[in-house]
A and B are shown apart, each in its own frame.
Chain A
Amino acid sequence: MESKRKQISRLLKGIERYNPDNIKELIDYVDFQAREPSAYDIEANLALLKLFQFNSISNAECVRKILLKSLTNLPASDFTLCKCLIDEHTQRHTIIERVLKLHDDLETCNFIEFWKELDAVEDLVRDIEGFDNSIRMFCRVIDITYQTMDRSTLCEMLNIADDELNEWMDRYNWKNMEDYILIQNHDESIKTRNIIERINFDSVMGLMKL
């Protein structure tokens, strides 16, 4: 992956970035990212979208793959950045519209709705390897919100069966209590704070001289 990234980054330097001859190579790179779950290069993808923008190319298939890959990088706002470079016409394409809906569900953290939608558009994401698991990584937001949660809700949010839950618990260090699961102890980190002003000597020193 690293060598490929270095190779592609040559194409993105300076004015070379706008060279339409690079389009084919960048499209191949997107396919490569789709096949490897851990491969993701936001810069190359944005550059490709820009080349599409500059040369009035409408390639819904490629755009779909780029958008789905950027969903796997949530909570970073990569998807929004991509949206800013895709023109209205392409955005109204049926495939893209469904991807936009998926994004909307994720951004509002409506996980149940999201998994339902995903079921309905199974074939749309089939060629993105490891898509489901990458989305489950986003469910990390549960980590920062909840201290405890019961098993069934957690399974629902992650869309996994009860027996798979143990595997995910190990990954995130969640502990099994009797009725519920301890996610993260927030007692210490989230506390009411009082910010009091501290006057240090340096700022008052100037006054002393008067």
Chain B
Amino acid sequence: MAALYHSEDFVEGGLSYAYDSGHVDYEYNIPSGLAMNVGASPMYDESEMQRHRIASMLQPEVIEFLVYFQKCIKEKSIGELQVIYETGFDKMSADFFRQESWPEADVVAPIVNNDKIFLMLYKELYYRYLYSKSGKNLVSQQREESYYNYCDIFNYILVGDYDSEESNPVGLELPNQWLWDIIDEFIYQFQAFNQYRSRVFAQQHKSNMESEFGYLSETSSWNVMSVLNVLHSLVDVSNINEQLTVYNSGGDPTSVSGVYGSIPLYKNLGYFALIGLLRLQCLFGDYYQAIKVLDNVDFNTKSTYTRVAACQVTTYYYAGFAYLMMRRYQDAIRSFCNILLFIQRTNKMFQAREYQQTAMSKINDQMYHLLAICLVLHPMPIDESVDSQLQEKCGDKIRKMQSRDVQEASVEFEQCFTFACPKFLSPISNYIDDGGRGIDITREAFNLQLKVFQEEVNQQYILPTIRSYLKLYTSMSMEKLADFLNVTMVDLKFHLLCYKHKLNNRVWVKGAGGLSGEFQSSSELDFYIDGNMIHIADTKVSRRYADYFIRQIHKFAELHNTLKQLPTPKK
């Protein structure tokens, strides 16, 4: 496995300071473990006095919290770490740092005795908080610093302790939620950087953008190959694919996990890296590879390999979207229904942080929109509770997409797609069009995917209308249908063939590979042509009441039990 870059030995200056009721006196050397010199950050230019002032302004509670945090990491007390990570940090953020960001790592360093591992993790949280507060306003340097911090973290995990000579797995233990968030945030910041760079390049000739443009042209941070390299290395080092294969066939994963893979930190990071790759491939428009990456993850049955809910949601969202673009509507519908049901049933907001809550509800809405698109193109019966939510959120849009008016339908499809699609990226950085102007390349990437989608929809424009007519009859002559649709007989033949072709897609049947599947025809409305007659077969699903009754009876029984156990009020 290749390390991202060779980090030289961390060199630290000695640090000593003495509090002297207002006058602080210390020397501080900037650690020089980076292969490339980071451009001067505003903080480093400030005078030492300024730094002392800020350090002394840290409230005792914050200091106490940081020391406790560091202790938990050192002692690997996972339970307490989980509490700190999921609630403690946010509480401190809300209490003390509502308006601005947490103090910079150098300020915090003296309090934790320059514990480099703690500082790496602290910086990760620091930048994440910064992004959540003021993501759009960050300049290249800050983004780059965050990138180098991630490089440090991944280098540490992949290459091992700096002190030892061979690479050994590190003895770090972090809660799974944090591990997922690291991968998730890493890709998110990569996305944000690409969008930012694309914006700057598109406006490169504007005067206020010149310095940023110059900086961005030189930098090699956040390049796509290193991001891919990180994810692939995590997957390789943990042997996660081999572990999953064995796990799926009922065996013991530890037999194939190797030294690194048997440690939870690496195993989980390996799994999360797989999902990260799924996401990244979708962002670049390579849907085949996206599903291929999940070859060993059995996400089509309802088992869950991980308990991190955000990871589940991300998996199903991107998998469903990839299936949609591959025209495997049945698989897409199944993916979306699975996860929407999961979200409905667990119901409590399992994300602690505000920005994660909004992200979760947004992805929920996006999935309903994608589900709506799929169901318009390929109607099939779905779970009632998902259906009722769907009608509530998107009933109007569904009606418009099924409209006879091709223009109206097409506009609605475009709107839904634009809202619900991921933020596509392009791997190349600069793009000049024929007129010599810079182009916003991420916008181009989105336009490309939208165009492919629209072309697919346009090829199917007449199908919902045909379907609505066919539903009314059990057999019909070709002339009659041609009359209804106002097309020639010749054209009608092709439309009917097209209908059959579009609804005959690959559907996953069994096993772990998401790409496999047999060709199956849509089950709802089918027909065949005999001479000049169309024979139609409809599927009528009678209303299912048993499930509903059973659930309600159980709920009622539970309520009854709870009531029985309540103390009777004294008169």
- Any chain B CB within 8 A of the CB of A107? yes
Known contacts A77-B327, A109-B497: A203-B452 contact under CB 8 Å: no
A80 cross-chain contacts in B, Cβ below 8 A: 325-327, 452, 456
Name the CB-closest residue of A to B441: A87
Q: Which residue of A lies closest to B424 (CB)?
A: A84
Whether B288 lies near A145 (C-beta < 8 A) is: no
Chain A residue numbers with a CB within 8 Å of B326 are: 77, 80-81
Contacts of A186 in B (CB 8 A): 528, 530, 535
> Chain A's nearest CB lies how many Å from the CB of B356?
29
Q: Which residue of B lies closest to A74 (CB)?
A: B501
Measured between beta carbons, the chain A residues less than 8 angstroms from B493 are 153
Cα–Cα distance between A108 and B495 once the two chains are bound (Å):
7
- Asked whether A81 lies within 8 Å of B528 as measured between CB atoms, the reply is no
Which of A18, A145, A191, A204 makes the CB contact (< 8 A) with B496?
A: A145
Q: Which A-chain residue is minimally distant from B461 (CB atoms)?
A: A108
Which stretch in B21-29, B383-391, B443-451 binds the other chain? Answer: B443-451
Q: Is A88 an interface residue (CB 8 A)?
A: yes
**B521 near A108 (CB under 8 angstroms)?**
no
Q: Do B539 and A56 touch (CB < 8 A)? A: no
User: Chain B: which residue is nearest A77 at the CB level?
Assistant: B327
Whether the Cβ atoms of A84 and B542 lie closer than 8 Å is no
Cβ contacts under 8 Å, A144 to chain B: 500, 504, 521, 528
Asked whether, in the complex, the Cβ of A145 is within 8 Å of the Cβ of B500, the reply is: yes
A141 contacts partner chain B, Cβ-Cβ < 8 Å: yes
With A193-B540, A195-B540 as given contacts, are A112 and B474 in contact (CB-CB < 8 Å)? no
Does chain B have a CB within 8 A of A172? Answer: no
Given A18-B225, A84-B452, A87-B448, decide whether A194 and B531 contact each other with a Cβ distance below 8 A: no
Query: Is A98 interfacial (CB 8 A cutoff)?
Result: no
Which chain B residues lie closer than 8 Å to A173 at the CB level? none
B160 to chain A, nearest CB (A): 20
Q: How many residues of A contact B (CB 8 A)?
A: 53
**Once bound together, how far apart are the Cα atoms of A85 and B496, in whole Å?**
30
Q: Number of B residues contacting the other chain (C-beta, 8 Å)?
A: 70
Does the CB pair B541–A192 fall under 8 Å? no
Assembly CA distance A80 to B452 (angstroms): 7
Residue A195 contacts which of B285, B289, B490, B542 (CB distance < 8 angstroms)? B542
Tell me the A1-45 residues at the B interface (CB within 8 Å).
14-15, 18, 42-43
Given the interface pairs A18-B225, A88-B448, A195-B539, the reply to whether A104 lies near B455 with Cβ below 8 Å is yes
Contacting residues, chain A, for B547 (C-beta < 8 A): 203
Q: Is the CB of A81 within 8 A of B225?
A: no
- Note all chain B residues with C-beta closer than 8 A to A204: 546, 550
Contacts of A196 in B (CB 8 A): 542
* Bound form: Cα–Cα A129–B289 in Å: 28
Chain B residue nearest in CB terms to A142: B497
A43 to B293 alpha-carbon distance, docked (Å): 12
A104 touches B289 (CB 8 A): no
Are A190's CB and B284's CB within 8 A?
A: no
Binary interface profile of A, 84-125, with partner B (CB < 8 Å = 1, else 0)?
Answer: 110110000000000000001001111110000000000000
* Nearest-neighbor residue (CB-CB) of B498 within chain A: A109
Contact of A206 among B288, B495, B542, B554 (CB under 8 A): B554
B519 interface hit (Cβ, 8 Å): yes
Residues of A near B536 (CB, < 8 A) are 192
CA distance A14 to B2 in the complex (A): 12
Contact A194 to B542, CB < 8 A, known contacts A81-B326, A145-B500, A210-B557? yes
* Contacting residues, chain A, for B289 (C-beta < 8 A): 46, 50
Give which listed residue, B232, B529, B538, B557, contacts A145 with CB less than 8 A: B529
Cross-chain contact A148 with B530 (CB below 8 angstroms) = yes
Say yes or no: A81 contacts B501, CB within 8 Å: no
Flag whether A147 is at the interface (Cβ < 8 A): yes
CB B441 to nearest CB in A, in angstroms, measures 10
Do A54 and B224 have beta carbons less than 8 Å apart? yes
Give the nearest-CB partner of B474 in chain A. Answer: A192
CB contacts (< 8 Å) of A43 on chain B: these are 288, 292
A152 vs B277: C-alpha distance when bound (angstroms):
52
Q: How far is the CB of B156 from chain A (nearest CB, A)?
A: 20
The interface bits of chain B over 328-345 (1 if a CB of A lies within 8 angstroms of the residue's CB, else 0) are 100000000000000000
Contacts of A50 in B (CB 8 A): 284, 286, 289
CA distance A108 to B328 in the complex (A): 17
Using Cβ atoms and an 8 Å threshold, which residues of chain B touch A151?
Answer: none
Chain B residue contacts of A149, Cβ below 8 A: 529
Is A75 located at the chain interface by the 8 A CB criterion? yes
| Given A84-B448, A148-B530: A203 in contact with B286 (beta carbons within 8 A) | no
Tell me which of B459, B497, B537 has the highest count of chain A C-beta atoms within 10 A of its own C-beta: B497
CB distance A107 to B501 under 8 Å? yes
A83 to B454 CA separation, bound complex (whole angstroms): 12
Does B19 make an interface contact (CB < 8 A)?
A: no
* B427 and A54 within 8 A (CB): yes
- CB interface residues, B 210-247, toward A, < 8 Å: 224-225, 228-229, 232-233, 235-236
Contacts of A53 in B (CB 8 A): 284, 426-428
B190 within 8 A of partner (CB): no
Check B411 for interface membership: any CB of A closer than 8 A: no
Minimal Cβ-Cβ distance residue in A for B540: A194
Among residues of A, the one whose C-beta sits closest to the C-beta of B561 is: A210
Indicate if the CB atoms of B550 and A203 lie closer than 8 Å. Answer: yes
Which residues in B have their C-beta under 8 angstroms from that of A160? none
Query: Does residue B80 face the partner (Cβ distance < 8 Å to A)?
Result: no
CB within 8 Å for A18 and B228 given contacts A141-B500, A145-B529: yes
Instruction: Tell me, yes or no, whether A146 is within 8 Å of chain B by CB.
Output: yes
Q: Which of B426, B427, B527, B539 contacts A193 (CB 8 A)?
A: B539
Closest CB in chain B relative to A90 CB, distance in Å: 11
Using CB atoms, name the residue of chain A closest to B429: A56
A141 to B452, CA, bound (A): 23
Interface hits, A150-201 → B, CB 8 Å: 153, 180, 184, 186, 190-197, 199
Besides A147-B530, A190-B535, 4 other A-B contacts (C-beta < 8 A) = A87-B444, A104-B455, A147-B535, A194-B539
Binding site for A on B (CB under 8 A): 2, 224-225, 228-229, 232-233, 235-236, 284-289, 292, 325-328, 426-428, 444, 447-449, 452, 455-456, 459, 474, 490, 493-498, 500-502, 504-506, 519, 521, 526-531, 535-547, 550, 553-554, 557
Q: Can you give 13 A-B contacts (C-beta < 8 A)? A: A14-B235, A18-B225, A50-B286, A53-B427, A77-B505, A81-B288, A83-B455, A84-B449, A85-B285, A144-B521, A186-B528, A192-B540, A197-B544
List the 6 closest pairs (A to B, CB-CB), nearest first.
Answer: A109-B497, A186-B528, A84-B285, A147-B530, A109-B498, A77-B327
